[in-house]
Structure 1
Amino acid sequence: MDDFDCDVLIVGGGPTGVTLASLLAGRGISVIVAEKETGIFPLPRAAHIDHEGMRILQEAGAAEAVMAASRHTSRYEFRNANGKVLLCFDGADRIGPGGWPVANMIHQPSVEAALRASLAERAPDALRRGWEMVGFAQDIEGVTACFATPQGECSVRARWLVGADGARSPVRKACAIAFEDLGFEEPWLVVDVLVDDPSRLPAANLQICDPARPTTCVLMGEGRHRWEFMILPGESAEAISTPASVERLLTPWNVAGAVRIERTAVYTFRARIAEQWRKERVLLAGDAAHQTPPFAGQGLCSGLRDAANLAWKLAESVKGGADATLLDTYQPERAPNLRATIDMAIMMGRMVCTTSRVGAVVRDAKLGLARMLGKLPDAPPAYPPLATGAIMSGASAAGSYFPQAIASNGARLDDVLGPDMALISRSALAEEPLAPYADVLREWLDSHRADAVLIRPDRYVFGAGDAYELKQQWHTALRAA
């Protein structure tokens, strides 16, 4: 490996960084993860992973452990101050296109523990705890980064560096990359509780659109629940966080004796996107590249999607012979999906965060009329397919998300396909290992009038059509991205 200590150096050992490391290690790419903290942050932050995120964790080797501690509910309701349901998304506990339940309420420290355990199996020495980046320099061949470690200062030489180091990202700042502000910034008090009597808590995820105090109430991982209270103009973070204030805020929920407070914290919910996600041999992922308000539950999911998109492209660039410009498709592919995610979260947030009573009356009337006319959605809008990047432009289904079939014995398709690209043709459907999924795959091919489909490693469709042409175009795309 010449003078390189690893192929990919990841700064930040949170869910995005460790997922990326595990996906890379599963492809035979050497990786080091530098994490400044010595242990997992013990308190929950993210509360939700969707079916696509779970599919990514499946490849990362952590899905079963995460699922075992997750909770599920079928409904996500937006209610007004009087308890009337303004909008309801149903079916969150059904199996989504990713092959896992649509919504999975999680305990983030448990997710991180599962991811680290999987990484330890694939690359035992990859995670370096207590390593804080001091700085880095890059050249045409790679990046050299310096770290303060428990053993003293050291340097790491890598072909690529990925900053997955959070919203305050030292990597992003060192690259002088600015944020585009998308115009949403609201401070909220988060109250996480341990549950002793679940029968006294709501069974659905709730947004209370009360102008007197916009409030969120959602499930989390096993044995936990969360409330979020908007901090109103004139209130201070210190005053609203006192035990007496928290007790007063929880009083209308009648949960005294049913829950114990685990932590309180004040967060400012923001919507921002970094202007650049790649600067030569440095890339950004997760909160270092973007932040989204929590109302759509897509913060952690977006970081996982970044990891899935980056992992196969980095692997192809390191050992697959792909042109390094393949990585230039990362931001153009991910940013439109991310903007749609943020737009949806902002839409939900503005509906919830209305503090004008007149505005709330107008909002409720509009939603009531839409309900009468049958124009209210019963699920969040689908995210847009890839419109550009490493896809076969003009081919049927190019850029769409390929659903994960599940066999009658519960086995999932991705475990058969493996981590690389997959070319599925009609002629192979009767053979093992695809035979258990043949009916579903044949139906998909029929719907797109195709003889074959080439599925990218991140489970987006490169294109559908003739098998030979798809394979030829795939190899061309990797070398001419």
Structure 2
Amino acid sequence: MAGADFDCDVLIAGGGPTGVTLAVLLAKRGVSVIVAEKEAAIYPLPRAAHIDHEGMRILQEAGVAEAVMQTARRANRYDFRNAKGEVLLRFEGAGQIGPGGWPAANMIHQPSVEAELHKALAAQPKAQLHHRWELKSFTDDGAGVTARVSTPEGDRTVRARFLVGADGARSPVREACGIHFEDLNFEEPWLVVDVLVDDFSKLPTDNLQICNPARPTTCVLMGEGRHRWEFMILPGETAEQVSDDAFIEALLEPWNVKSAVRLERKAVYTFRARIAAQWRKGRVLLAGDAAHQTPPFAGQGMCSGLRDAANLAWKLAAVTNGEADDALLDSYQPERAPNLRATIDMAIMMGKTVCITSPWQAWLRDLKFKLARKLGKLPDGPPAYPPISAGRILAGSAGAGSYFPQPVAPDGTRLDAVMGLGHWLISRAELDKPVLAPFAKPLAAWLDKHQADAVLVRPDRYVFGTGTAANLAGKWSG
């Protein structure tokens, strides 16, 4: 808890989805938090378009998942098609329930998601969100962080135990720490076009990557009555040229949607793959786009920031509540970075499949996919991301570091809703207890698969380890 010398336990620079989710998760654990957001309000136009089942589970903990699902949509499938419309690669099952207990892929309207998160944060007495507060400088003296913040009422000083930079790709917090980005060698300029939909019958129901060397194109569903196209900007084209309404109208003409949609937003982005060399420096930590940027082809940008928030929240809470030494925070990057790198690798692979502008190279790509399809070697979905291999896990025990699923009871109740925020110790001997009985079958199946008597699940729902209940309890607290 923040003491007399501190204004809050954690100061978060940046009030986007990562920062506000982290703030909600911290406040629910009794941590006092201040979010400093330089903008006057939520950015009103859509940016991120997708949240996976794991991201939805994190939003469930924040208390907003049901509301988010009210405006989310699901595509039938995710297709990579060539210029002729032939399917090169197809991922299905977007509407199936994923391990996180929610549909595997959910197309969302980011401002609506952020609005729900803001409501959740406002309901937390230990949290404050201040718009038009801009972090100008800070000093880490080893015992805490003293920040100078510009506010509408003038500059003020905020003293916190920790500072989290969730302040975007151009993060002033990261820059002030002198932390450099590792460039993962993917940089492509694209035009993003978002539309309001008046007639959904004229729009695709699949998410599409059109691997046409003449103009690589993305076409995806979004939430709240919207749809998105992304068009690769070709050599010689300028941002001003492609942003012209007449140019955009010509790009959309082959889709035959003129009477069905209205332009809401157009923006030129350079899709990049980068990761910060250091995610923690003393009492300063980075999260979300401040720590990493991934091309959008795998739809994992916002999801990655939510995973950062879930990993960091329980650790910051344990440290600030006196339950753990701050060395626990050293596990943040070793746990998250391998998952993040695999996410970026997947996005780059997808991007390189799409972003071929040479007809000859596109022909070779198409041939390789056709051969792989005939041989049955194409995946039917994105690969599973690697488990946690180093950090706060019981290394060597079966399932350690893996993602623990959230079973859904016959009446629709999800496991997390009855088990609560903390870590869980689940043993075979307890599966007949009333709280676990509705989930006994899938839990027993998980224990069988790992030949375990018990499992200890961390607060971020990754597995600490398996073994006997007594041994797990001792190792966790030891």
Verify the 8 A CA contact 2:216 2:357 in the aligned structure 1: yes
Verify the 8 A CA contact 2:15 2:35 in the aligned structure 1: yes
Question: Whole-Å Cα distance in 1 between the matches of residues 72 and 285 of structure 2?
Answer: 31
Deviations 1:356-403 (Å, cap 9, x if unpaired)?
A: 000000000000000000000000000000001000011111000000
Letter of the 1:128 counterpart? H
Name the structure 1 match of 2:438: 436
Question: Whole-Å Cα distance in 2 between the matches of residues 338 and 321 of structure 1?
Answer: 28
Question: Whole-Å Cα distance in 1 between the matches of residues 379 and 63 of structure 2?
Answer: 34
Match of 2:316 among 308, 314, 317: 314
Name the structure 1 match of 2:62: 60
Letter of the 2:312 counterpart? L
Equivalent residue runs for 1:293-304 within 5 Å: 293-304=295-306
Give the drift of 1:435.
1.1
Q: Which moved more, 1:423-432 or 1:82-91?
A: 423-432
Match of 1:203 among 185, 190, 205: 205
Name the structure 2 match of 1:479: none
Name the structure 2 match of 1:33: 35
Q: Among all aligned residue pairs of Structure 1 and Structure 2, give the percentage whose two residues are the same amino acid.
A: 70
The reply on whether 1:119 has 2:129 as its aligned counterpart is no
Name the structure 1 match of 2:380: 378
Verify the 8 A CA contact 2:294 2:344 in the aligned structure 1: yes
The reply on whether 1:18 has 2:20 as its aligned counterpart is yes
Verify the 8 A CA contact 2:107 2:223 in the aligned structure 1: yes
Deviations 1:244-301 (Å, cap 9, x if unpaired)?
A: 1000000000001100000100000000000000000000000000000000000000
Name the structure 1 match of 2:47: 45
Name the structure 2 match of 1:280: 282
Give the drift of 1:219.
0.1
Verify the 8 A CA contact 2:32 2:126 in the aligned structure 1: no
Verify the 8 A CA contact 2:406 2:415 in the aligned structure 1: yes
Number of aligned positions between the proteins: 476
Verify the 8 A CA contact 2:57 2:100 in the aligned structure 1: yes
Name the structure 1 match of 2:142: 140
Verify the 8 A CA contact 2:36 2:134 in the aligned structure 1: yes
Question: Whole-Å Cα distance in 2 between the matches of residues 381 and 355 of structure 1?
Answer: 26
Give the drift of 1:446.
1.2
Name the structure 2 match of 1:85: 87
Match of 1:154 among 156, 178, 189: 156
Give the drift of 1:76.
0.0
Aligned alpha-carbon RMSD (Å): 0.7
Question: Whole-Å Cα distance in 1 between the matches of residues 18 and 419 of structure 2?
Answer: 23
For the residue of structure 1 that corresponds to 2:194, the secondary structure is: strand
Name the structure 2 match of 1:454: 456
Unmatched segments (≥5 aa) in structure 1: 477-481
Letter of the 1:177 counterpart? I
Equivalent residue runs for 1:199-278 within 5 Å: 199-278=201-280
Give the drift of 1:2.
2.7
Moved over 2 A (4+): none
Verify the 8 A CA contact 2:30 2:126 in the aligned structure 1: no
TM-score, normalised to structure 2's length? 0.99
For the residue of structure 2 that corresponds to 1:122, the secondary structure is: coil
Question: Whole-Å Cα distance in 1 between the matches of residues 11 and 251 of structure 2?
Answer: 44
Letter of the 2:151 counterpart? T
For the residue of structure 1 that corresponds to 2:210, the secondary structure is: strand
Question: Whole-Å Cα distance in 2 between the matches of residues 168 and 378 of structure 1?
Answer: 36
Match of 1:423 among 422, 425, 443: 425
Give the drift of 1:48.
0.2
Question: Whole-Å Cα distance in 2 between the matches of residues 77 and 284 of structure 1?
Answer: 34
Question: Whole-Å Cα distance in 1 between the matches of residues 322 and 436 of structure 2?
Answer: 26
Question: Whole-Å Cα distance in 1 between the matches of residues 322 and 385 of structure 2?
Answer: 30
Letter of the 2:445 counterpart? E
Verify the 8 A CA contact 1:143 1:159 in the aligned structure 2: yes
Unmatched segments (≥5 aa) in structure 2: none
Q: Which moved more, 1:205-214 or 1:122-131?
A: 122-131
For the residue of structure 1 that corresponds to 2:123, the secondary structure is: helix
Question: Whole-Å Cα distance in 1 between the matches of residues 344 and 127 of structure 2?
Answer: 36
Question: Whole-Å Cα distance in 1 between the matches of residues 326 and 126 of structure 2?
Answer: 28
The reply on whether 1:191 has 2:196 as its aligned counterpart is no
Verify the 8 A CA contact 2:27 2:126 in the aligned structure 1: no
Deviations 1:92-129 (Å, cap 9, x if unpaired)?
A: 11000000000000000000001110111123751011
Question: Whole-Å Cα distance in 2 between the matches of residues 124 and 159 of structure 1?
Answer: 15
Verify the 8 A CA contact 1:74 1:94 in the aligned structure 2: no
Verify the 8 A CA contact 1:423 1:454 in the aligned structure 2: yes
Verify the 8 A CA contact 2:48 2:301 in the aligned structure 1: yes
Verify the 8 A CA contact 1:136 1:143 in the aligned structure 2: yes
Deviations 1:134-156 (Å, cap 9, x if unpaired)?
A: 10001111001011101111111
TM-score, normalised to structure 1's length? 0.98
Question: Whole-Å Cα distance in 2 between the matches of residues 396 and 236 of structure 1?
Answer: 54
Letter of the 1:280 counterpart? G
Verify the 8 A CA contact 1:333 1:388 in the aligned structure 2: yes
Give the drift of 1:318.
0.8
The reply on whether 1:333 has 2:335 as its aligned counterpart is yes
Question: Whole-Å Cα distance in 2 between the matches of residues 47 and 278 of structure 1?
Answer: 28
For the residue of structure 2 that corresponds to 1:41, the secondary structure is: coil
For the residue of structure 2 that corresponds to 1:127, the secondary structure is: strand
Equivalent residue runs for 1:350-365 within 5 Å: 350-365=352-367
Verify the 8 A CA contact 2:26 2:32 in the aligned structure 1: yes
Question: Whole-Å Cα distance in 2 between the matches of residues 62 and 119 of structure 1?
Answer: 10
For the residue of structure 2 that corresponds to 1:126, the secondary structure is: strand
Deviations 1:161-207 (Å, cap 9, x if unpaired)?
A: 00000000000000010000000000000000000000000000000
